[in-house]
Structure 1
Amino acid sequence: MLQFKNITLRRGTKLVLDDTSFTLQPGEKASLVGRNGAGKSSLFALLTDRLHPDAGDIEMPPRWRIAEVAQNMPETETGATEFVLEGDAPLMAARTALAQAEASGDGHAIGEAHARLAEAGAFDARSRAQALLLGLGFRVSQLDLPVNSFSGGWRMRLQLARALMCPGDLLLLDEPTNHLDLDALVWLEAWLLRFEGTMLVISHDREFLDTVTRVTLHLDEARVTRYGGNYTTFESMRAERMLQQQAAYSRQQEKVAQLQRFIDRFKAKATKAKQAQSRVKALARMEKLAPVLTAADFEFSFREPLSLPNPMLVMDAVEVGYGETAIVRGVTKSVLPGQRIGILGANGQGKSTLVKTLAGALPRLSGRVQEGKGLAIGYFAQQEMDVLRPEEGPLAHMIRLAREVSPQAREQELRDFLGRFRFVGDMVNQEVGSLSGGEKARLVLAMLVWQRPNLLLLDEPTNHLDLTTREALSMALNEYEGTVMLVSHDRALLREVCDEFWLVTGGQVEPFDGDLDDYQKWLLEQSREIARRAREEDRAAQEQARAASQPAAAVPAAPSSRDERKAQAAARMKLAELTRPLKKRQQQAEQALEKAQAEHAALLEAMARPDLSPAERADQGRRLKELADRIETLEMEWLEIGEQIEAMEAA
């Protein structure tokens, strides 16, 4: 097990952990939650020996391997698949041992190295690495591209795949969902549910935490408190505990006041002096309870739009993309007042490109966009620095914005306005380039509110927001009277805000008839189809390589006599007879596979219900893992039977 025993940690003058203790049992999946800056990443650094405690001990089995997602951006020309393979430490060690043994000509060492390779799963390592990449949204054509050819977000996906390649005994994940779209997020959840080791994850995605964790560690006021249950369970348990604490504090304050009144009243009377003195001692011995102090809630609201054009805008045969490359074509749609549109689709399909074009940040390639009279667009860019200037402070941004939108605004008014978004004191002049991701996001939100838009175009607005700010954004959007078009992988935000969805896929934008649960089922079906095609392509490539390595067989001459034709017909009948049992087994495996996949999808839908108890959710999680294992077994059985049939037909 993993144990923190009376750990104290300081970073400079800041007390990060104060005599805190907690335990994680083997196989437990826990989330580490707390406000930004509470010290969650510092706790991870303690586990990986990048930091050392000032007091206390951390105990874990000495043979445990720790896997985490590296936060640096890799700069290498290594191919994507090979880069992921390098994350498998036992496999790399076995490869090195084989190379050394072959170089020395030591036959015994060569044999041992091959045994180590087999133990490390070398025979299917490449296909496992590519399955991880495909699951995280990479295309087949990208599997062997050099790492340095990918953008920053995709390189972080490569780092995640590299960590999952050899997850070890303790898996540490720090904001793993930040660079994932919904299809990759659904795949990652399924993968983590099958993971059998211990896991500790930091995330601000409520639904992700509810799905993959069963323990919550809350870091607050330099102490870690353990709660049994996922994030939703933690919230209700913590609220109840806080009420109990406040009630206990109130009762104690009443008792203190009562004792103090007795002491003040009778300490000067000789007849009561002894009793008064005993009350003084009782008061001194009393363990003082602290009042319940919580971080101030963050909230804001969008101002009422000055007008609501109808329609907001009309797109007629619009084509969007970069340069001469079209990504989405033929978009013919209207956007009406009050609509709440969620834009779904995998990374690279064109969601952000469409939003950027509507915001005017990209020129459209063709088609027409007619804007309603009085349209005022507020645009939240996925990369906040697209709309911010790194060398200027928040106040300078607001002054420039006020000149464009509201010339009568005074500096003090702008300072007060920024204070509502937690920019106080000298922070209003701090260079934006030095702000944290969450602070930059709050500044963009402040600028949106000031602009008083009637159409909000939001591209991944929650990437750097903590849970409190995400909830504030959700509440503000629900009260907003204008129109919202939202691209996000935060399912809680999409569920709470959007009442219709557009799907961007295959270069088209179509209405998606269903809710987010239906979309997740659709994604699972798509990922299975992609994986099936990848296996078929891999098998075809292997067959082609085998054929190329063998001498070309002579082309059989056409049958020249009746006897030869009879012989060939008899051979075909014999082949059909030999393969019939195999084909029957393959059909049975396919039927069982379809049944297991349907049950897996139904169980995923059932697990999304908020009224499940922790015990029910745990049982369903175990059943989900059993089904995933069975699906994998049936897929392998189906493929192996197919290969046997192909081999017999080739022979």
Structure 2
Amino acid sequence: MITLKNVTLRRSAKVLLDGASVTLNPGEKVGLVGRNGAGKSSLFALLNGNLHEDAGEFFIPSQWRMGQVAQDMPETDQSATDFVVDGDTPLLAARLEVEAAEATDDYERMANAYMALQDAGAHDAPARAQALILGLGFRTTELDNPVNSFSGGWRMRLQLARALMCPSDLLLLDEPTNHLDLDALVWLEAWLKKYEGTMVVISHDREFLDSVTNVTLHIDSAKLVRYGGNYSKFEDMRAEQMELQQSAFAKQQDKIAHLQKFIARFKAQASKAKQAQSRVKALDRMEKIAPLLSEADFTFEFKEPANLPNPMLSMTDVSFGYPAPEGSAEGTPPTVIVHNVSRSVLAGQRIGILGANGQGKSTLVKTVARSLAAIGGEITEGRGLNIGYFAQQELDVLRPADTPLEHMIALVKELTAAGKIAGQATREQDLRSFLGTFNFSGDMVKQSVGSMSGGEKARLVLCMLVWQRPNLLLLDEPTNHLDLATREALSMALNEFEGTVMLVSHDRALLRAVCDEFWMVSRGGVSPFDGDLDDYQRYLLDEAKRQRELIKQSLIDAAKARATPAAPVPIVVKAGNPAKSSKLTKELQTVEARMEALNTECNALEVRLGNNPPTAEIATLGKQLAAVNEELKALEEKWLELTSQLEG
């Protein structure tokens, strides 16, 4: 087990843990939570040996193998499969030992090295790696692509796959859901539920924590407080504790009253459609933990839009995609991802956009946001439409050398030139005050953006978005870098927002709390999804099962395509050399016996494939089936050769 006893941990002059004690038992799945700056990453550094306690006692079993996601961006031309296979450190060590042994004349060492290589799982390592890669959303055509051919987010998925590939007794995961979409997230949850070791995870995705953890470790006032149960259970217990602290609770009454008023208002407005019931439940949860939410040191709100056109926009036979790349041959057609969409977006709608990776969710949002031109059809915008767009890559377009104040001043100039200022205050002092409402106060307004954390950058983008007073919000994965408190603040702000919201997110808590209806982007089209997020999660699992069935069937079909030879016909042996005939007959009998055994093995493999095994086992069984058929083919030729010789 892992034990901390009266541990003090410092980073520079700041005391992060002060006399903290806790015990983590083998096999527990621990969610590590706490405010930004509380010391979560520093505790991880203690667990992995990069930091040492300043006082107290820390113990972790020395024999435990550790797995964690490397935070550096991989730069290598290794294939995706090979890169992930190399994450299996025992296998890598066994391979190096084989190379070293082969360079000597020590045959005993070679034999031991080969046995260790087999024990390390060399025979199915590529199949295991590819199952992880495919589960995290890559396509089968990308398995052999070089790592450096992928964008940053996809390379970080490969780092995650590499960490999962490594056999471990302790798995440390720091924000593993960043860069994942909902289908990859559902797969990761299923994988982690089967993980048998001890796991400690930092995440700002409450539903992910609820799904994969059974213990919550809260860093609070430099102490470690252990709660039995997942994140929701922790919230309930913490809210009860706070409610008992009457003096603190009394100070929060105004904030709680505002929360409860807003919750009651939106529960009354929510429709009775199945999709909206998730939102009602989310609001019920917010009402229950109002004391906890009122403790948050960050809240914000969207100002009332200057106008609300209805419809906001209409799409008629619109096709979404990308133009032909620059420099391509004349006449090269554009890439169309979603075809012939005819839908309207109305004032006040709350639309969650669902769909597997690569189906076109972001392409749809980018086109509505005017970042991409429609490939075909017509988008008609309502008069006075004012779009606020949060793109996945929005943090990348911030200017690292500029300060938050300089970003706001540049935004004012840009909108003034375009005639889009809607009555906002534009003096420098007004902008400073507005930045302060997003926790950019004091010297932070003059701090370079490049030196800020991902969460601070995301908060700045939200600040710039809110200042523009949009009436249509297009949000594409807005929570990737937001902590739990900021996510709750965003959820509340979106619920109070009087305009229209279109939301792409893998944060199911945000989707449940905000969205009344869902659009499904799938197989080249957009259609209403008549269900809630639980129905969608079942759809994703069914779709994954369907894909496995297709793979399995293709392997079985390939096996059947290799015709099994007919039963050997009786051979009439002509007069000749009796000794030679006897030898050939014995050899023929050996070949026939081996062919019969292989046919039995082939049938058994097909039966196992027919029982819907896991993806990783499908790949392994497929390789075994291919090997069996190759050997059968060689034996068929041998059988024909022997029978010809006997007849001769």
Q: What TM-score results when the alignment is normalised by the length of structure 1?
A: 0.77
Deviations 1:546-573 (A, max 9, x none): x9xxxx99999xxxxxxxxxxxxxxxxx
Shift of 1:106: 3.1
Q: Does the aligned pair in 2 maintain the 1:309–1:373 contact within 8 Å?
A: yes
Residue in 2 aligned with 1:493? Answer: 510
Structure 1 segments unaligned to the other structure (5+ residues): 251-291, 557-574, 594-629
Q: Unaligned 5+ residue runs, structure 2? A: 251-291, 325-334, 568-594, 637-648
Cα contact 1:312–1:372 (8 A) shared by 2: yes
SS in 2 for 1:145: coil
- Supply the distance in 2 between the matched residues of 1:391 and 1:369 (Cα, whole angstroms): 37
Q: Which residue of 1 aligns with 2:485?
A: 468
Instruction: Render the CA deviation track for 1:82-112: whole Å, top value 9, x for unaligned.
Output: 1001011111111112222223243322221
Per the TM alignment, residue 429 of structure 1 is displaced from its structure 2 partner at its CA by 1.8
User: Distance between the aligned counterparts of 1:369 and 1:249, measured in 2?
Assistant: 51
Distance 1:249 1:309, change over 3 A: closer
Conserved 8 A contact 1:582-1:645: yes
Counterpart CA distance in 1 for 2:225 and 2:143 is: 42
Residue 242 of structure 1 deviates from its aligned partner by: 2.9
Q: Percent identity?
A: 61
Report the CA distance between 1:636 and its aligned residue. 9.5
Give the residue type in structure 1 aligned to 2:374.
Answer: R
For residues 465 and 79 of structure 1, the distance between their equivalents in structure 2, rounded to whole angstroms, comes to: 32
Matched, 1:427 2:439: no
Q: In 2 relative to 1, CA 514–92 (structure 1 residues): closer, same or farther, beyond 3 Å?
A: same
| Displacement after TM superposition at 1:144 (Å) | 0.9
Report the CA distance between 1:464 and its aligned residue: 0.8
Is 1:484 aligned to 2:501, yes or no?
A: yes
> What are the superposed Cα offsets for residues 348-389 of structure 1, whole Å, 9 maximum, x if unpaired?
222112211211122333322110111111111112235533
Larger deviation: 107-116 or 396-405? 396-405
Give 2:383's aligned residue.
Answer: 373
Structure 1 residues 160 and 632, CA gap change in structure 2 (3 angstroms):
closer
- Identify the residue that residue 66 of structure 1 maps to in structure 2: 66
Amino acid in the other structure paired with 1:347: N
Q: Partners of 1:200 and 1:59 in 2: how far apart?
A: 15
- Secondary structure in 1 aligned to 2:341? strand
State the Cα distance separating 1:528 from its structure 2 match.
2.4
Are the equivalent residues in 1 in contact too, given 2:388–2:470 (CA < 8 A)? yes
Change beyond 3 A, Cα 1:167–1:384: farther
Could you tell me how far 1:517 is from its partner in structure 2? Answer: 1.1
Q: Provide the residue aligned with 1:220 in structure 2.
A: 220
Indicate the residue corresponding to 2:35 in structure 1. Answer: 35
Offset of residue 298 of structure 1 = 1.7
Instruction: Give CA-to-partner distance per residue, 1:168-191, whole Å, 9 cap, x none.
Output: 000000000011000000000000
User: What amino acid is the match of 2:117?
Assistant: L
2:428 to 411, 419, 422: 411
CA offset at residue 392 of structure 1?
2.2
Report Cα offsets for 1:284-307 as digits up to 9, x if no partner. Answer: xxxxxxxx9996432111112222
Map 1:97-496; keep pairs closer than 5 Å: 97-246=97-246, 296-324=296-324, 325-385=335-395, 388-403=398-413, 404=416, 405=421, 406=423, 409-496=426-513
Contact 2:79 2:143 in 1 (8 A): yes
Task: Indicate the larger mover: 468-477 or 295-304.
Answer: 295-304
For the residue of structure 2 that corresponds to 1:456, the secondary structure is strand
* Kept in 2: contact 1:586–1:641 (CA 8 A): no
Shift of 1:21: 1.1
Offset at residue 435 of structure 1 (A) = 1.8
CA contact (8 A) 1:131 1:531 kept: no
Cα pair 2:552 2:609 within 8 Å, conserved: no
For residues 53-92 of structure 1, the aligned pairs below 5 Å read 53-92=53-92
Paired residues of 2:552 and 2:618 also in contact (CA < 8 A): no
2:476 and 2:503 in contact (8 A); partners too? yes
Q: What is the distance in 2 between the residues matched to 1:381 and 1:589?
A: 42
Amino acid at match of 2:387: I
How far is the alpha carbon of 1:15 from its aligned partner?
0.8
Cα 1:10–1:318, aligned 2, differ >3 Å: closer, same or farther? Answer: same
1:54 deviation in Å?
Answer: 1.1
1:648, 1:529 → 2: CA distance? 31
Name the counterpart of 2:521.
Answer: 504
Q: Give the superposition deviation at 1:453.
A: 1.1
Moved more, 390-399 or 579-588: 579-588
Does the residue aligned with 1:104 lie in a helix, a strand or coil? coil
Query: Do the aligned partners of 1:384 and 1:440 also contact (CA within 8 Å) in 2?
Result: no
1:303–1:452 Cα contact (<8 Å) kept: yes
CA contact (8 A) 1:394 1:443 kept: yes
Change (3 A) 1:59 1:379: same
Whether contact under 8 Å (2:243, 2:249) holds in the other structure is no
CA 644–77 in structure 1, closer or farther in 2 if over 3 Å, else same: closer
Q: Is the 8 A contact 1:40 1:202 kept in 2?
A: yes
Deviation at 1:390, TM superposition (A): 2.7
SS in 1 for 2:239: helix
Deviation string for 1:17-52 (max 9, x for gaps)?
111111100000001001111111111111112112
For the structure 1 residues 100 and 56, does the alpha-carbon distance in structure 2 shift closer, same or farther, using more than 3 Å as the test? same
Cα distance in 1 between the residues matched to 2:146 and 2:602: 41
**Structure 1 residue 336: Cα displacement:** 1.1
* Alpha-carbon distance in 1 for matches of 2:411, 2:338: 32
- Find the residue that maps to 1:370 and give its secondary structure: strand
Q: Tell me, in whole angstroms, the C-alpha distance in 2 between the residues paired with 1:513 and 1:249.
A: 41
- SS where residue 103 of structure 2 aligns? helix
Tell me how far apart the structure 1 counterparts of residues 212 and 30 of structure 2 sit (CA, whole Å).
8
Distance 1:240 1:400, change over 3 A: same
Matched residue count = 548
Q: Give the partner amino acid of 2:376.
A: S
Which 10-residue stretch deviates more, 453-462 or 92-101? 92-101
Q: Name the residue aligned to 1:519.
A: 536
Aligned-residue offset at 1:132: 0.4
Tell me the distance in 1 between the aligned counterparts of 2:412 and 2:92: 58
Aligned-residue Cα RMSD (Å) equals: 3.6
